[in-house]
Chain A
């Protein structure tokens, strides 16, 4: 005689345990200082520089790289999820605090202080916005200044997504110059150069320190109406950091006025054009400029892989375990209560239709950045397949079998445990398997909001146009999905009662 039903429960417990263990393993000693950076090379380099500097001051620091755009970084700083990030004065005045009409440095300092923030003095370079074109086309059309663009309404514009939406970006630029162009596409800044070279777009937005300007010999259009303000780079940091980690702040401020336009452009070039790691570029700069001997701790391939695996598995294990714990009861309720069941299925179904990227971003205002919002988003994504599997499995139990269980005199809870759940085990398990595989894939997007994992190299690889780096994230993610799938096939042998497997085979 076999007694298989409790196995399901045991397996679920085991999975949960594994999840919390992985979570525990991933917990490093809490850092004292968190540095953030935006999703483009210069910001990441400045983040790395800050990281080396604070660490050289013996402060435990981490760098949450490529967290996203201005809004995400600014809000994270306000909420204290990060302590430092590189920003530009123009962005502060024209975009973040645009409602305040800030004209002087003092006014800016006060506005920041009101929010518990401080800014370093300018680091020394002005990374203003500009528009650029291929020289051949610019020459042919006789375009030198932005105002010349008015005469060529057919030109195709391709701007970074942030530029399109920003108050100091496309909307006001268009008004200021009266630009007639209708075809304006939003794309990733790092991909824009490729679009320009490929001929798909004619005009892109540039950052003045972009290495590609010189590399491709682009024509930079003169801002003849002086639309763009100065974008002096500064470090923004939380005012409380001065008390919490005075060493870190002191170290950071050593950079004031030390990074010139040429130096920054050169660093960008090293990363983007020569493929040198940001951390190395940052270390070399500090050695040259401040005589600081920071050995950039280069993480080996396997150490990297292991760290990301732990990060990725943590996201998956916690979100999936929670989804299992909630979805199975929901599926049971759905199978038992017709109307409520339809509501449950509809709600989890609707959640599934939210694009994963959007769902991740929705989580930021609620939960900030990093692991928690990613876990909640993944959790929500994992519900439908399990709820549906449980519902279908229970729903499809033949009537005579349900009647028999009832006629034996088993109470509803006992019927569920001894008959119904074991009979639905295959459908439940395949729902969990589907969830797990989707979850592993979707978790790569977690890197977009600072959750790390296999998505991190993919994100960086896209930014640097580095296929190897993309593969470094994509291949392990695919392998992990395969392994997990295989584990579930095995689990099926263990968990699905033999009698059911026999009837499926025959």
Chain B
């Protein structure tokens, strides 16, 4: 499906990604996780050609992603970024359908697809005429997801789609998102900081650190047989809700 072979990327003196290889398995959800700045977004950027690797190659459907073909390939990939990615000058519906209109889908097909997606993502249809500023953070992420899904892409890339949401909405959206993934049975790559979220979504977790992959496996693999002490430290760094109570009075 999607294969990164020996890719590396530096921004000036900053090495964002050390040479690494990764294969994204079709119809599975792969979660990229790791500390801030470890190169997750850079890796996503390499996948859809927004960032060109310094070396190595990216294969999509056995075709190398190049500067020349990346625009067309991107239409076969849905992309959802953490907040801010919606076009403020277009209403929700127009945001979702921009690309379909641009490539000349018939009106009826666009309308049908839009309604289908609104139902799938549980987005209120009457809110489609609202502008991004008039939507809540959770609704905006649903619009962003609809936009990513509009052209029925073969692969969905989500870079911290739930990062800025409050815990209640976040949990609700996690449930909905997972339902969407299962309903569509697509290849999904999702970036998160949150190991709980990773465990909830992932078929495969890719744990990264400083531009390198530390371990690839299921949550159970990571917990039971960590490849490195960092894995355990990273997993344990997340505070569970009742830690504070368990500690007793100071």
**A residues neighboring B (CB under 8 Å):** 1-4, 398, 400-401, 403-411, 414, 418-419, 422-423, 425, 497-500, 502-503, 506
Q: Which residues of B contact A4 (CB under 8 A)?
A: 89
> Are the C-beta atoms of A410 and B89 separated by less than 8 Å?
no
Q: Select A409's contact among B85, B93, B99, B131, beta carbons within 8 Å.
A: B99
List residues of B (72-112) whose CB comes within 8 Å of A's CBs.
72-75, 77, 79, 81-91, 93-94, 97-99, 101-102
Interface of A is mostly: helix
The 7 closest A-B pairs by CB, nearest first: A497-B89, A499-B131, A409-B74, A400-B84, A409-B75, A407-B79, A404-B85
Q: Could you tell me which B residues sit within 8 Å of A by CB distance? A: 48, 50, 71-75, 77, 79, 81-91, 93-94, 97-99, 101-102, 128-129, 131-134, 147
- Contact residue among A403, A414, A499 (Cβ-Cβ distance under 8 Å from B88): A499
Smallest CB separation, B112 vs chain A (Å): 14
Chain A nearest CB: distance from B190 CB in Å? 15
Cα–Cα distance between A419 and B102 once the two chains are bound (Å):
12
Instruction: Flag if B75 contacts A498 (CB, 8 Å).
Output: no
Q: Which residues of A contact B102 (CB under 8 A)?
A: 410, 414, 418
Residues of chain B contacted by A1 (CB below 8 angstroms): 90-91, 93-94, 97, 128-129
For the complex formed, measure the closest distance between the CB of B50 and the CB atoms of chain A, giving whole angstroms.
6
Q: How far is the CB of B28 from chain A (nearest CB, A)?
A: 22
Listed by A's residue number, 13 A-B pairs whose Cβ atoms lie within 8 Å are A1-B128, A401-B86, A401-B87, A403-B50, A404-B79, A404-B86, A408-B79, A409-B71, A409-B99, A423-B88, A498-B131, A499-B91, A500-B88
Pick from B86, B88, B129 the residue with the most CB of A within 10 Å. B88
How far is A423 from B72 in the complex, measured between Cα atoms in Å?
Answer: 24
Residues from chain B with Cβ under 8 Å of A400 in the complex: 81-85
Q: Which residues of A contact B50 (CB under 8 A)?
A: 403, 406-407
CB <8 Å contact, A401 and B88: yes
CB distance from A429 to the nearest CB of B (A): 13
Q: From B81, which residue of chain A is reached at the shortest CB distance?
A: A400
| Chain A contacts for B77, CB-based, 8 A | 407
A2-B94, A410-B71 given; name 12 further pairs at CB < 8 Å.
Answer: A3-B94, A4-B89, A400-B85, A401-B85, A403-B81, A404-B85, A407-B77, A409-B99, A410-B102, A418-B98, A498-B91, A503-B88
A408–B98 contact, CB under 8 A?
A: yes
Contact residues in A for B82 (Cβ distance below 8 Å): 400
Contact partners of B132 in chain A: CB under 8 A:
499, 503
Please measure, in the bound complex, the distance between the C-alpha atom of A506 and the C-alpha atom of B130, giving whole angstroms.
14
Known: A408-B79, A423-B87. A502 touches B98 (CB 8 A): no
The answer to whether B87 touches A407 (Cβ under 8 A) is no
- Looking at the assembled complex, report how far the CB atom of B66 sits from the nearest CB atom of chain A, in whole angstroms: 14
Q: How far is the CA of A408 from the CA of B83 in the complex (A)?
A: 16
Chain B residues positioned under 8 Å from A408 (CB to CB): 74-75, 79, 98-99, 147
- Give the complex CA separation of A410 and B103 in angstroms: 9
Q: How far is the CA of A500 from the CA of B133 in the complex (A)?
A: 9
